[in-house]
Structure 1
Amino acid sequence: MQREFQMQHQVMVMKLHVLIVLLLGVASAANISLPGCRDKCGDVSVPHPFGIGDGCYVEGLNVSCNDSFSPPRAFINPDINTQMQVLEISLVPANVRVLLEDAAYDCYAGNNNTDWSDMVINISATAYLFSDTRNVLTAIGCATVGYIEGQNGDDIYGSGCSSRCKKLDSVASGGLCTRKGCCQTNITTGLDYFYVTLGNLNHTDVWTYSPCSFGMLVEKGWYNFSVNDLPGQDFLNNRVKKTGYPVMLDWVIPNASCPEAKRRPDYPCRSANSVCQNSTRPQGYTCKCAQGYEGNPFMVNGCQDIDECAPKGDNRTCFWECTNLEGGYSCTCPRGTKGNADERHGCHKDDKMDFLKPVIGGGIGIFFLVATCFLAYLGFEKNKLSRTKRKFFEQNGGLLLQQEMINSHNPTTFRIYTREELTKATNNFDKTSIIGRGGQGIVYGGVLEDKRTVAVKKSRIMDESRLKEYTRETLILSQINHKNVVKLLGCCLEVEVPMLVYEFISNRTLFHHLHDVNVKWPMPLDTRLKIAIESAQALAYLHSWASPPILHGDVKSANILLDEQLTAKVSDFGTAKLAPTDETQLATLVQGTCGYLDPEYMQTCQLTDKSDVYSFAVVLLELLTGKRALYFEGSEEERSLVFYFNSAMREGKLFEILDDQVKHEGDAELFQEIAELIDRCLSFKGVERPTMKEVAEVLERLRRLEQSLWSQPNSEEMDCELGETSSFTAADTTGNHTMEGNAIVTIGEGR
């Protein structure tokens, strides 16, 4: 009796557990918005990532709710040209149904005059696109041409259709558009701007029964043609402007791709069973539940397992023995039968089962034999791979590097990583993880097991004769600790060509911010001077304070990274060298980037600290002018930035080559001093150029004077401060440093 009572108690406890799990699942599925955020506006549900109010939505997907209507109405992007009322928001597929209340029209107004209006909508600055699968261009009227022209990124798109009818009784009473009184055509993919216009086929005789033509982009299947729409008197006012018509928009989370979004702390695909999916836009993505799950992928626990075994009538997934699994299901035929369990009559009795038993037994034996051979083969390949990795490790100087690390008296966080660690961190060096390419190799973004985001540089080639020198230089670079130099964290030597691991800098390169046409925000003069000073200080540190001194060898704007605060980080030491101990150490091959190369280095093949000074001067020119070092699309005079600058200096046209923004932020004296500094740095003879330390000091002094010019309220005080004499160090022709070239800075007219 007691045993029976215990069994009943256990059954009740199990049922209670199942009920709790089901209730939790329902509660999680019902929660569609973030805590404290509205989940509805009138009759419209607003699921996250959409939201109403600050902190309730993902970038670009804000919804405004106008409670003055009854019921309240939801709107998206009220700052674009046409405010769009929201009718429905869908996560899968990623669509928003909106209501438009305007259309293109062309109506006969008498005396051979027409009243007309085109329809223009621009959503290029939003997270939305016009759906090419859910919308059609619709034109209504006799002797009518409907034309749509739009923009897909930089591509211009156009399409249209025509409609004819000689008399009303020749037109169908209603229904589909058949080019008699009405026509429709599809639109292109990725459309974010369009205008609709109308034309007449020069059949003025139709104006007696079809005086108006209409054109609109409308949701596919919404419009049912009616012959009563052809006269046109009431169609525009009573059917379009009064009630409106639906249009479908595709939406994405803008300004990032899946690999970039996954590295951010605010990655919105929150559900454990969600996946990220790139859009057709260059930058944009959406989240969806993984196969076998459904729900809201943007909410924690939002994607719930689908019970494929639940009864679904004739639409059941499995008609025989179904077992629901996490993220899937198993459908099998009953014991003693065979066939396709996914079909209603797919399983039938297996009469050959007795005959197959010995065959199955023999098959199992063969399977174990094959498995044993396969495992032996795997062991052999594993040993072979281990030997190969050891060979590369020794060939790439791994033993030398380990010995150098042991003998080094300076503590360092430098690590030697295994190939498996970097392969896992970069998702097997997937092409979507690429964050940069250069002449020396490819750079991948990755996340190590300790959750640190790093940049992994996979070099293209390594000269075996430089292995010992490379090993020593790698260890020395790892000991550099300067806030404006990208930190070298480690390397991997188990591969044919060594790989380097750097700290990850998130805000791309100075070249990108200066020259990429997609960069939306300007860069003020003070920020440009700050970046120049920080870069110069980093190079001065490498030249003057590193032991032994280090020559970068490839200074350019593409090798200066910027973090989120626009702090400069000098990077890419693929061509870096330790300062030569004597003048006999010449390069067998000149390396660097055209437009930045020191002409003296190209002639002598001897890299010096003054080679970096020359290249930095070109970067400084880029900051002031906004122009590239080499610009082959420009005029012959503008192709070389250095040549363009020298011409401007000779002709007294320095102000004309400055960037339009910075020329209005600084005075002529400031630009003249910087230009004179650049001119000295670009001297053909390296001995006549200043050192990087001197360059950094001059730039820092000029920036302080420029800041004081804006901060001092008393003009006399500013005259006094800017009138002080300042000096910079120049090199005489013998190579000895002297103090000369005193410069006086005064306030220019017109500030």
Structure 2
Amino acid sequence: MTVMYPVGKDNGKRCSSAFIFSRLYFREAYPLPIGINIETTHVPTTLSWNSSYCGDAGCEPRPGPISLNGEKSCGNVTFQYPFEIIDQEYPNGWFRVICKKTSNGQTTPFLNINGVNLRILDFSFLYGNVVVNHSITCFNCRKNSNNGMSLNLTGTPFYYSDFDNVFWSSGCGNLATIFDRETSNLVGGCLQPSCTISKETSSATGCPFNIPRGLTFFSTNMSGRVDSSNYSRKRSCGFASLIKSDLYFDLTLESNDVDVNNWTYVPTSLQWSTPMSGLCRLRQGINTSCSSDREYCWQSLSSTHLCVCNKKFGISDISTYCEEENCGIYVYCHMLCLNTPGNYCSSRDCPPEYKYNSAGVRCEPDEIVSKGPPKTMQSLTIIIIGCSTSIGTIFLLLGLWKMYEVVKKRRNILLKQKYFKRNGGLLLQQHLSSNTSYFETIKMFTSKEIEKATDYYNENRILGQGGQGTVYKGMLTDGSIVAVKKSRMEEGKKFGEKKVEQFINEVIIFSQINHRNVVKLLGCYLEAQTPLLVYEFIPNGTLYDLIHGQNEELPLTWEMRLRIATEIANALFYLHSAASVSIYHRDIKSSNILLDEKYKAKVSDFGTSRSIGLEQTHLTTQVQGTFGYMDPEYFRSNQFTEKSDVYSFGVVLVELLTGEKSIASKQSDEEISLVSLFLLSMQENSLSDILDSKVANDGLEKEIIAVANLAKRCLNLNGKKRPTMKQVAMEL
């Protein structure tokens, strides 16, 4: 209260008071309360506990009083809680941002950590991290290169993000290693490709690896690779440092070749909090903070934990979907655990009134133990009191039972809808509905049909198990025999996004294939915890079993081997060139070639396959495949082409010629690559030494040599010199 007018002699002792009062207690016509004087110390005031929010659009239930978070910007970066912006050079607090003016009048945000000013490039509240300009840790060809030490985050609430960073080492011919605070403790490392592969290096040449959670300091070293072969021991200039994942993807694209020789800083992500999976929601009556655009809001669960909920999307496998009636519009929720200096949160550090569920791999509210039902003797005593009471109890129980059945049925329907959505059903429908001719050929099976066909997943019905899942033999109601593939899921874990992608990928690819030498997809079932695929049943096992198994009743003649090889080649030629969309199989091996009742080959297992646009010549992916069949050029470059399938087919050809496994054992206990043995025998003109005796006795020498030369061309280390599958099929 401030004096607004000059004080005269008469009113020098005049007093006034200010207060808030309840209009319910003062109903006089005069708008202000009567009977209040300067001696009054208390007046009636109403405190509202109603959790309704009234705005321009009217009143609606809301979590509680909502405050729009005071977002502040410096330069092109916007900050939210717990960060604040100051103009001082030396801030007091870990989350205070220094906003500096540059020579051109622009402002740039900096974060001071242990006396080092780091320029801030980006800020994310949902992911709990801040992106800073971090000096390159190690540069092996620069005179003023760093000493290999990173910024020391020990004793701060920050650590290097394990999911938003990749340790990247650019160049060739170098061995990059990373150690933690003690140089004897190796965190990881990677070996760059040999410089003999390409005389010129680019930003796409190098090697990556992931870091563990909670890393606060590391040292890096780059040295020449140890190479016992006769290759030239050259190595290129390059750097090794922790970089943000987005930059890693940009650097490893050949189309975006960047000169990194003059770089001194790279974007690096620091976690100021730890995102956690937790079953939380915005509760009514609790103070709530929201972003200025109201896209997400958060509430405090404890002094170190927040519940953050979003409107439109979740964060990978961390967010949980709120399905309760009072969830409101913020349905994708996860927890943020705020780090304190030297104490970093783990996924098991749950807030008060929550406990960690190891099966669901998340924090869940403590269950309130309700009182048990009345004892049996008490129930019997109540029934004996009177007939009317017993009849009423019976009707009540019948009503409750009926209600339970209705609720259970409704819950099962909602659960199936949830699984259908989580297993990619909407994505699958979107893809398949774009081509109705394919969509009509794929049937959506019900749970009863699948359970009846597999005898409730009887173990005696299992045909085989692999990395992608388990295959059961089943019989549909029309009597047709089918193979049911149940995708693999680790115990206690959800069916992850990667597994869903592989599953949907296999369905979409199969929907575009119509070839006599490719296994036919009949339908799928998506309303279960793990999705299932239903294929035509192929009765005679795999080519692997036929080659390496002892079957005297059905000898594998040269004519059969040549026919099977031709059928596989025709199928791959169709996938590469003749299908509606070009398809790379990416896991060709003898165990993925099935044999029907007439021992005709059928290519199967498209879980890792990818469809390719007409303008694309390769895929850049994480290395996937089977050791012994994998293209070495793909293993080095992460780029899969149609010639990578050609290489894998070449290994299968050698298996048919020699009868040996892709990783062969010779005389000693040491294992050696079948490809190496074959190429050595071809070089030394001693092919007959490794040929299967049945091949040598049955086959014509001219044909055997032709097939061996074809296999040798398929196994050429330079993919460009390998034939196409069309050429292979025509030659066979």
Of structures 1 and 2, the one with the larger relative CO (CA 8 A, separation 6+) is 2
Structure-1-length-normalised TM-score: 0.43
More helix by share: 1
